[in-house]
Every structure is written in structure tokens, then in C-alpha cells.
Structure 1
Amino acid sequence: MRLALILVLAATTVVAGQEDVDNTIVDTHYGKVQGDTDLSRGGKMFYQFKNIPYAKAPERFQPPEIPDHWEDIKNATEYGNQCPQYEPLSKKFFGEEDCLNLNVFSPSLPTEGEDKILLPVVVMLHPGGHTHGSGKIYGPKYFMDENVVMVTLNSRLGPFGFLNVGHMYAQGNMGIKDQSHALRWVNLNIEKFGGDKARVTLLGLSAGAAETVLHLVNPLSKGLIHGAVVQSGSPFSPCSMVRDPISQAKKLGEQVGCPIDSGENLVMCLKGMDHLEILKKMKMPDPEKEGSDLEEIARFGPSVEQVLEGQTENDVVLADSPYKLLTTEEKVVNKVPVILGAVDHDGLLPFVAKVVNSTEKMTKLGNNWIEFGPIILDFKSSAKDPAAVAKKLWDHYVGEGEGKTLDGQTLIKMFTDRYFASTTRYTAKKFSKYASVYPYYFSHNPEHHIILEAFGYPNITSGLAHLDDMQYLFNGQELKYPEITEEKSTESEYKLSTGLVKLWVSFFETGKPTKTWGEAKEWKKLENPDKPNFYTIGVETKNIDEPEEFVKRMKLWTELYSGELFGELETPPPEKF
């Protein structure tokens, strides 16, 4: 009898185990994938499928193609290759060119024979200056407490994603084209994972935020997204767009030892080199130089493409500057609701922290502002008169007259306004003509500054530094910051994190952020672009108009973009080898 009972229990266990395996197999358009399960922050079981090919890049510097079909069940339980990159925190070179994979996380999967209840979908674009990072940076455990399907992805980076020689050999924006392919994959497959292809929100932070805005005008992504969340980034920021891609390509050729007499010869030489050899021979930013070496770096990111023979503007990502595209209604192909904003001290980047942390460096910068200001604020090559712009900024932020000194908080404010606040505000103003825009300002004193602490600069500010908002939406994976949980965090940190996740998910569901808390019962959309209102996010919330001091600063930047810096918005002059 005992033996019979044991055999029955064993058989039951085998059957149950087989059912568990079967429950984690999904049949995609290109083949079957087997994932596994994990637990969310709140202890809910969710499904995860990693390293799913969404495209392939059969040739370096060329557009992506659909992935190959596969016959066997593909193991999707481990993250796949990251794209080739130099990671500035670890100072390591790594990655493989076979890297166009994505990851899907879902709280439930459709069951055959039952009515489908499809959930909203969020697709994440990672930060990293278009040169480093991966989808792995976004841990799914916080969002998996809610009814949402989450997708993270890798796309090509640096020269492999953005080399532009003005010809078919390397036309540029390959990384953005990869992302369009990922969105097509989502449209084709996401229902198999319980997601609603008619409710896909694109969310990006920093460089990913700038790329998210570009997909609003990218013909290759037309109709594939239904909402956007833009966190601390804009294509109007000088660190987002490359206005002289051929000059940057030549700089790359000189650094790695390739001919620069023609785009074809440069590309042929680069194709003959190992991918990591290219990166190792490139000049990388030196943190010790606090940004003064920016002119020596070959910069890669989104750029305006030349429409080649046989192509139309619908065959490229950017046939014109983002400014021209966003101000031309028919060029805005995705007129969808947008959440858009920044954090208190977005300009507090690691190299800014390094300067602010040193009295000697601050004194040197202040004493040589007219020389160094145009370099670190990146308008030396774009301003009509860089010295005049530097003087205007000094007079406004530091003060007119003799004896004025530059302090750390003022420098942070300048960086925040130049790279984030003014450009985010400008994006909101332009896009609000086409769809609902919900501007926010995230003001909070966090327990941890995740990027600054990683680089060795803790306790340098009482507010949120750039990318500090990540910790409230995602559990740390690549960045090993403490998870915000009910057991390990303060009550206010935990409530802010869970509240922010629910608020974002309400936007994914309906196109309107409704799960508000605190004083502000309703998040009001932008009504008057010339006098913006903001939803202030923190432990408490409120709807506010722009403070007078901030209005004055933004007025200065508006005048600069209309005058001395207007060249940054115009269609860049054509370049040739």
C-alpha cells in the first residue's frame, strides 16, 4: 500500500511539474520560448521571459532585419548579450554584436479556452548617453505588483548604433531603428504574453527619454505606441543630438587608425576590426578632466539622416531636425498622451559632483568661466558668440559686477536648466499642440543617490540627482542600490515608490494619470504652454504654476534658443567627406 501511495504521489508531482513547465512556454511568431517565474515586491508570482530575439543585424552599421525562426523551444530564463559598450562606472569594455534581444515580464498569461483579459504594456528605453547600458537595468519587481506587462530591450549603441557617414554604408540611427523593430515585435507578439497591443506606452529615462520623444516623429514607429513617459531627457538637449555626424565619424577614424578620405573606406576599415578593438582605441571621457575633454571625444547619438536615392522621408528616423519635425503637424506621426518632467537637481551628474566637491576646481572654473563655461555647457561650437553667452549666464546665475563667486548649488542649477529643465519645458510646449501633456516636477529628499553613490559622491545634495527617480520604479539589477520595500525602507520611501508605480500604471491603462495621492487630487494637463503648470511629485503632491525665479531663468534660455543658440534647433548644414 505504501509503495502504491508513493508511486501515486510521484506521478502527481511529475504531472504538476510538467504543467508548470507548460505554463511558462509561449509560442511567438518566430518560435517557442520557455521562461520561468519570480515574485514581485509584494510577493505576487509573475512570469518572465528573457533574451528573446526581436531582430537581427546581419551586417555592421546596417538596418536591422526580422529575426530568424527557430524550431526548438528557446530557453528564455537568462538575460542575453548586451551590446558592445564602454561602461564608465566599471571602466570595462564588453558586449557582443548579436545583442538585439528583449525581455517580457507579465503577471499572467492567457489560458486557452478562457476569455482574454489583456493588460496595458510598457516598453522601456534605458539611459546611458546612447553609448552604454541595457534593458537589464530595469528590474521588474515593482511593476509586477500591478496589472501591466513590462518589456525591456537592448539596442545598438555608440558607433555601432549611430555612425552616420551620409551614405548607405552607414546611414545613422541604427539604434533607433532597432527600437522600432522591437515595437513591431511587441505589436505582433505581446498578446501571447497577456499584453494589449492597442495600449503600448514607451517609457525612457535620460538618453532613453530623448529617444522616446524621437519615436513621436519617427515614421518607422507610426501607430506602434499609444502613450509616452519622458523622464529627464529631450532631443533638444545638446547631449542628445549629434549635429555634425560626419565630423564625428572622421574623428573616430583618426582615433582607431582608419582612412577618412571617404565614408566607404572608413566603414570598410571599421568592418574589418573587432568590435571591442574599436571601442578600446576610441578616446573615452576622462572623469579627471571634468568635461574639458569633450571636444576630443567622438560623439555618437541620434542625427539627421540624408534621404538617399530610392528612399522617402518615411524610410528614415530623422529626415530633419527634431525642432522642425515637432513643429510640423504632419510630421508628428504619434500624437499620443505624454507624461514629461524632471527632478530637482537633474544637472547633478557625476562629473559635476566631482567639481562641486572640490573647492580648488570650483575656484578654477569660476575664475576661467568665459573659457570653460562654453565647453562644459556644450555651446562652444553652436553659439554665435560663445563668450557672450557665457557672460549672460554668469550675470544671470552668479550676478553682475566684481567680486562674484560661483558656488556649487549655482553650478548645479545651470546644468539642470541647460540640459534638462529648459529642454523638457520646450518639448512640452511644442508637443502640447497635438495631444495631452502632463508635466511634472519630482522634488524629494531620497535616502540614496544611486548614481552619485556608485561614483563615490554621497550626501552632496538634499534633493534628487539625475536618475535618482529610477529607484522608485525599478528594483536594482545592474546598479546595486538598496531595494525599497516595506521591511527595509522608511514608510515615506515605500509609500512614494508604490504610489509612483500605481500612478504610472494608471497612465498606461487609460492615457491619463489618475492614481494620485496627497493634496493634488487631479493631475492637470498642460493648458497654457506659455505659462506651464506642473504636478509636483514627492511624499506630498500639488499642482503648481512655475515659481517666479524659475520663470526668469527659463525666459533667459528661451531668449538664447531664439537667438545665440538657435543653430542648435535648426536643420544642421549638410556635411560631406
Structure 2
Amino acid sequence: MMGLLGAGLLLAAISYAECQLVVDLPNGKIEGFQQTTYTKKVYNAYQGIPFAQPPVGNLRFQAPQPAKNWSGTLETKAYSDYCYNMDSDAPEENEDCLYLNVFTPILNADQNTTKLPVVFSIYGGGFRNGKAGISPRYWIDNDIVLVSHNYRIAAFGFLATGDTVVPGNAGLKDQNLALQWTYDNIHLFGGDRDRITIMGQSAGGASVGYHLLSPKSRGLFRAGIAESGSPLNTWTYLEDPLDYAFELAQTINSSIPSDLTSAQLLDFLQSVDAKAIDNAQAIIKTRPVIFTEPEHDGAFITKPMYESFESGDYTKVPLILGVNSEERITIISDLDSVAKSAAQRDADPSKVLPDTYHLKSGVDKNEAADIIYKAYAGDAKLADHLGKYVKWESDNRFTRGVIKQGLLMSNYSPVYFYQFSYDGVIGGFNLTIAEADRVSHGEEQNYLSTPGAVGDLDSGDALTHNRMIQMWTDFIKKLNPTPAKLELLQNLIWPQVAPDSYQYLNINDTLKIENTPKAEQFLAWQNLFDTYMQRPFTTY
């Protein structure tokens, strides 16, 4: 008879055999570890897998290069350092940051023929801040493999010189290399490379749009989820990146002349310590550069974003796309500042026009601005109706570009548009103001990745969470967020956007199909662009 010790060792051996913690990648072996979800489902976690060489030295500001091979078995049991953020100064920030994470419910891919759908997650943060940190638990519970990754942001990710010396978009190229790595290797973790959905919020949502547009990402994914972000948002693009590059250099060293060549400027910026760049970019507070690149091998995007969506020059895959009901409601935390900004636009209504606008020749700027000003203020003043000013802020920064992307894409590919309007406890922002909606930028994220077990939520929050997870995971698996009528979803079928019928799903205490998100104001924006703006458009 086998002794207790022998039986225990046998059980341990059987348990280890059922769980493949060591994965043999093309670059070398890695070893992960096990975790459990709130429902006690076991999954394998691999954190800190290098997908690129450290972007240091002469690789700083340049396109990422694939990781080199390593010997032995690399332990991937903790998150790596993350890329330098613009608005923080944490000890975990590092220039050597290009690592990814894989979480899989398949415990032994070598012995399992089932391949699961994959979510490739891209974090937001305005292309200035952020790190890979999305919780895998609810995706794992629904038999979905999750991949998250770091990509360079702020100056390290988006510095450019307007030519091929520093062509720019290094951060988007980091995302692309991580996506290529996922496509090439995810089968080793039980994932199906032919069922990858790219997903992101804010800058992550805009990044999803950029991957739709980039020829470099074609064939690497079959669907997308873009929350509150679009390449058509004006904050995702800067027309003249060279000014920012010189500003960065001269903040580090004020004696740097403004007549350096691009190559000389690069030599200087590659010679200084990474921390000096990090400190300088925090002082400058200038948005990172995302711009139309010069044509060259390895270019990520070389054509205007709007025109590409309009002509159908993008990867035509199904997309969930949407906004929150009042993206910029958070600005009311400082009402004095809101009142001051509203008064400035009352005094000069042309300030309601987009930052990057180009009017047709001969157009009266005040006549054009009047269309937008009256769409929000009516015959009153914005300073007397701060909620209406908040609406303008939301639409100007986020909403109109996201809505327009959905409309343009509906001519060519399936788009499921939503507005998240549920104002719950875990949303995270609870201030309100008359004449504005209530749900701020990012609140929907708390219902896809709740801060605790669902059983700990109140009934409304739990219901909204369950609905969001049901629709998002059905889309990831079946390319349709409502493939069948379910009581959980009020037996509702979510329709696709059509060019002549902008139906969308309003996610609130109840679910409701409505027509044309932000209709009155959005139609005013369309009138402005169609009548007064100069083509070609880049953003919207």
C-alpha cells in the first residue's frame, strides 16, 4: 500500500501534469503560475513576457524590434515595470518596459485541442499615461484568453521629427508588435489566433481605430471594441510634431539651438538619461504626437484618418463602438474653472470650433461658429447654463468623433453603437449638474472589471455588470453582442448602425434601442463640417 507521502507526491505530479506552467516560446521557455477567479475557476497567468528588445540607446523613439532569444526558463510571475508616464513619477516606471501578459483558462494547451477566443487589451490614458493592468477574472470565467501589454507613451512613444529620422508612432508600433506576437504565439496558451478581438478605452479605443486603419495590423484580428475613443478625436493627432521635439530638447538643455537637423536633434535626445526626458515631458505638459507619417518602410499610418474611414480603406471587421452619456462631466469638480471657460466662449463664440479646424476659403468664422454655439446655448449664454457647456466639452473632446466613425464605417462593415448611461455606485463619479447627463469618461470600465465579486455589488450594479459582460463576451465569441434573445437583456436584439438609420443601444437601468446618439448637437456638427470645413478632413 502506498504511504501518505507517496500518495501526496503522486497527486502533486498529476496536478502538475494537468497544468502546463512552462511554455516553450520561439524565444525561449517561460514559467507562469496559477490564480483563481472570484468563482474559484483556476487559470494560468504569465506576466512580464518580453515581446520586444528594450527600446533604449539607438532604439529610443524608434520602432520596436522583436525580443532576442534567452537561455534557460524565464520566470513570468510578476508584472514588469511599465513605461514612463507623463503625469506620474513612480519607481516602477522604466524605459525597459515592452512586456506583455497572458491569462488563460486552458491549463495545458499541449493536451487540449480546444482553442479559445482572445481579447487583446490596449490601455487608455490619453497617450500620456497608463499601463497593462486589466483584470482577467471575468474574461477567464467566460472562457476567453486575455492578453495585455505595455506600450510607450508620451515623448518616448510619440516623439517625431516629421521625417524618417524619427517617423513617429513608436507607441502604436509597440502595440502592433505585441499584436503580431499574440497572433504568432497565442496557440501555445490555448488561444485561437483567428479569433482575436482588439479592445480599448479612451486612447485605447482610439488605438483600436488606428489598427483598423493601419495596413501593418491587417489580418491580425477579427473584431474590435472601442470605448470612448476614436482616431477622429482631435486629441489623437498633432499636425507639427517637430516643434514639440525641439521644446522637449530645450527644456532639458536651454542652449540647444533651434536650427539643428533632425539627426542632430535625435543624437542629443538619445544621449540624455531617460529620467531627464521624463522630467522634461512632465513640465511641458504637451500632448504626445500622433501624426500622419511620411511614406517609408514600416510606416504605421500615412493617410488622413477621416478620409480612410469614409472611403472604406480600413480593415473591415465587426466593431462595438460607443460613448458614455457625459464624457466630461468630471470638469464640474472645479465649477469656477467651468464658469470661466464658458464665459470665454460667450465672449468669443469662435472658441467653440475644433482646435484643428480649417474653414473653406471665404467662410465667415463667426457664421460657422454660430451653428455650434446655438446648438448648445440656444438664445442664452453658456455661463448661465453650465450643464450645456459641459455637453459641448463632452462632444468636442470625445462624442462627435466617435459617433462619426460609426456612421462612416456603417457603409462597409458591422457597427454596434452604444451609449452607456447607467449611473451606479461603482461608476466612480457622483457629482451632477442641471442640463447635463451623468456618466463620465471611463465609468463603463468599472462594470466590465468590477472592484470585487459580483455578489458584493448592489442589485443595479450587478445587473449592469452581468449585462455588459454578456454582450461583450457574446460579441467576442460570436461577432454579435445579442445573437439570441435573453431575459437578462430584456429579450432585446441590438441592431447594427445603418447609413440611413443610426440605431444604437442605450445602456441604463433598462436597455433601450434609440435613434441617432446626441442627435440635436451631432446634426449641428455635421452641418458645420459639410457646409464650412475644408476637405480633406483628418479628424472630426
Corresponding position of 1:459: 431
Which among 44, 49, 52 is matched to residue 52 of structure 1? 49
Measure, in 2, the Cα distance between the counterparts of 1:281 and 1:378: 31
Aligned residue-pair number: 524
> Could you tell me whether the CA contact under 8 Å between 1:24 and 1:36 is conserved in 2?
yes
Corresponding position of 1:70: 70
Query: Per the alignment, in what secondary structure is the counterpart of residue 123 of structure 1?
Result: strand
Question: What is the Cα deviation at residue 465 of structure 1?
Answer: 0.8
Corresponding position of 2:387: 409
> Could you tell me whether the CA contact under 8 Å between 1:87 and 1:93 is conserved in 2?
no
Measure, in 1, the Cα distance between the counterparts of 2:354 and 2:539: 16
Change (3 A) 1:383 1:202: same
Equivalent positions of 1:276-295 (< 5 A) are 276-282=275-281, 284=283
> Could you tell me whether the CA contact under 8 Å between 1:380 and 1:386 is conserved in 2?
no
Question: What is the Cα deviation at residue 152 of structure 1?
Answer: 0.7
Measure, in 1, the Cα distance between the counterparts of 2:177 and 2:258: 31
Corresponding position of 1:271: 270
Measure, in 2, the Cα distance between the counterparts of 1:552 and 1:145: 41
Which among 291, 310, 319 is matched to residue 338 of structure 1? 319
Corresponding position of 1:171: 167
Change (3 A) 1:207 1:535: same
Question: What is the Cα deviation at residue 7 of structure 1?
Answer: 4.1
Deviates more, 1:68-77 or 1:250-259: 250-259
> Could you tell me whether the CA contact under 8 Å between 2:232 and 2:538 is conserved in 1?
no
Question: What is the Cα deviation at residue 374 of structure 1?
Answer: 6.4
Amino acid at match of 1:493: D
Change (3 A) 1:38 1:414: same
Measure, in 2, the Cα distance between the counterparts of 1:109 and 1:5: 29
Amino acid at match of 1:123: F
Change (3 A) 1:147 1:274: same
Corresponding position of 2:375: 396
Tell me, yes or no, if structure 1 residue 8 matches structure 2 residue 6.
yes
Corresponding position of 1:293: none
Question: What is the Cα deviation at residue 431 of structure 1?
Answer: 1.2
Measure, in 1, the Cα distance between the counterparts of 2:350 and 2:154: 24
Change (3 A) 1:205 1:570: closer
Corresponding position of 2:226: 230
Corresponding position of 1:479: none
Which among 242, 249, 252 is matched to residue 245 of structure 2? 249
Measure, in 2, the Cα distance between the counterparts of 1:364 and 1:387: 21
Which among 30, 35, 55 is matched to residue 33 of structure 1? 30
> Could you tell me whether the CA contact under 8 Å between 1:55 and 1:66 is conserved in 2?
yes
Deviations 1:22-53 (A, max 9, x none): 62111122221111111113221111111111
Deviations 1:497-542 (A, max 9, x none): 1221121111111211126543352111112x24300012234212
What is the TM-score with the length of structure 2 in the denominator?
Answer: 0.89
Amino acid at match of 2:148: T
Corresponding position of 1:455: none
Tell me, yes or no, if structure 1 residue 483 matches structure 2 residue 452.
yes
Change (3 A) 1:368 1:155: same
Which among 93, 100, 107 is matched to residue 98 of structure 2? 100
Deviations 1:177-225 (A, max 9, x none): 1111111111111011111000110001000101101111111111001
Measure, in 2, the Cα distance between the counterparts of 1:23 and 1:113: 9
Change (3 A) 1:259 1:378: farther
> Could you tell me whether the CA contact under 8 Å between 2:86 and 2:128 is conserved in 1?
yes
Corresponding position of 1:553: 521
Question: What is the Cα deviation at residue 54 of structure 1?
Answer: 1.3
Change (3 A) 1:510 1:38: same
Change (3 A) 1:180 1:19: same
Question: What is the Cα deviation at residue 113 of structure 1?
Answer: 4.8
Measure, in 2, the Cα distance between the counterparts of 1:378 and 1:27: 54
> Could you tell me whether the CA contact under 8 Å between 1:398 and 1:405 is conserved in 2?
no
Percent identity over paired residues:
25
> Could you tell me whether the CA contact under 8 Å between 1:362 and 1:407 is conserved in 2?
no
Change (3 A) 1:345 1:54: same
> Could you tell me whether the CA contact under 8 Å between 1:496 and 1:539 is conserved in 2?
yes
Measure, in 1, the Cα distance between the counterparts of 2:365 and 2:513: 37
Amino acid at match of 1:369: R
Query: Per the alignment, in what secondary structure is the counterpart of residue 213 of structure 2?
Result: coil
> Could you tell me whether the CA contact under 8 Å between 1:86 and 1:92 is conserved in 2?
no
Amino acid at match of 1:280: N
Amino acid at match of 1:225: F
Measure, in 1, the Cα distance between the counterparts of 2:525 and 2:238: 20
Measure, in 2, the Cα distance between the counterparts of 1:423 and 1:474: 26
Query: Per the alignment, in what secondary structure is the counterpart of residue 251 of structure 2?
Result: helix
CA RMSD, 1 decimal: 2.7
Measure, in 1, the Cα distance between the counterparts of 2:379 and 2:17: 74
Measure, in 2, the Cα distance between the counterparts of 1:12 and 1:509: 37
Query: Per the alignment, in what secondary structure is the counterpart of residue 46 of structure 1?
Result: strand
> Could you tell me whether the CA contact under 8 Å between 1:32 and 1:72 is conserved in 2?
yes
Question: What is the Cα deviation at residue 130 of structure 1?
Answer: 0.6
Question: What is the Cα deviation at residue 391 of structure 1?
Answer: 4.6
Give ranges in structure 1 of 5+ residues lacking alignment: 285-295, 453-457, 476-481, 573-577
> Could you tell me whether the CA contact under 8 Å between 2:350 and 2:366 is conserved in 1?
yes
Query: Per the alignment, in what secondary structure is the counterpart of residue 255 of structure 1?
Result: helix
Query: Per the alignment, in what secondary structure is the counterpart of residue 543 of structure 1?
Result: strand
Tell me, yes or no, if structure 1 residue 531 matches structure 2 residue 512.
no
What is the TM-score with the length of structure 1 in the denominator?
Answer: 0.84
Query: Per the alignment, in what secondary structure is the counterpart of residue 387 of structure 2?
Result: helix
> Could you tell me whether the CA contact under 8 Å between 1:38 and 1:46 is conserved in 2?
yes
Change (3 A) 1:275 1:348: farther
> Could you tell me whether the CA contact under 8 Å between 2:346 and 2:382 is conserved in 1?
no
Deviations 1:376-402 (A, max 9, x none): x6834535476665554332212225x
Query: Per the alignment, in what secondary structure is the counterpart of residue 214 of structure 1?
Result: helix
Change (3 A) 1:141 1:112: closer
Change (3 A) 1:14 1:86: same
Give ranges in structure 2 of 5+ residues lacking alignment: none
Query: Per the alignment, in what secondary structure is the counterpart of residue 133 of structure 1?
Result: coil
Change (3 A) 1:213 1:570: closer
Which among 309, 314, 317 is matched to residue 326 of structure 1? 309
> Could you tell me whether the CA contact under 8 Å between 1:205 and 1:232 is conserved in 2?
yes
Change (3 A) 1:267 1:298: farther
Query: Per the alignment, in what secondary structure is the counterpart of residue 87 of structure 1?
Result: coil
Amino acid at match of 2:510: E
> Could you tell me whether the CA contact under 8 Å between 1:122 and 1:151 is conserved in 2?
yes
Question: What is the Cα deviation at residue 63 of structure 1?
Answer: 0.9
Equivalent positions of 1:44-193 (< 5 A) are 44-56=41-53, 57=55, 59-87=59-87, 95-114=93-112, 116-136=113-133, 138-193=134-189
Which among 511, 534, 537 is matched to residue 541 of structure 1? 511
